[in-house]
Amino acid sequence: MKTYEEVGIDTGLDGIQLKLYIAYMKKRWADTEEQKSQDGYATEWAERFLTNREWECSDSQGQLVLKELMGK
């Protein structure tokens, strides 16, 4: 079983960006980590974080999570 952390590292995330990605994924989809890591959805999100598109790709709920995680 891959974790969000492993997916993020495999995608090229590190440091603060990796921590933000993991926190976002666990806040949004904590109960489906194994499934999302296997079906590619976690990788899709890791790529969004890697290319700084997490805000534009998030729905309103996701943007609220990002604001909370970033202290905005």
Q: At what angle do helices 15-29 and 41-50 cross, to 10 degrees?
A: 140
For the chain, what are the domain ranges? 4-70
Higher per-residue pLDDT: 70 or 9: 9
Tokens 């309103």 belong to residue: 60
pTM, rounded to two decimals: 0.94
Structure confidence by residue, pLDDT tens digits, 47-57: 999 999 999 99
Please give the Cα distance from 53 to 51 (Å, whole number): 6
pLDDT > 70 fraction of the chain, expressed in percent and rounded: 100
Task: Report whether 2 contacts 37 (CB < 8 A).
Answer: yes
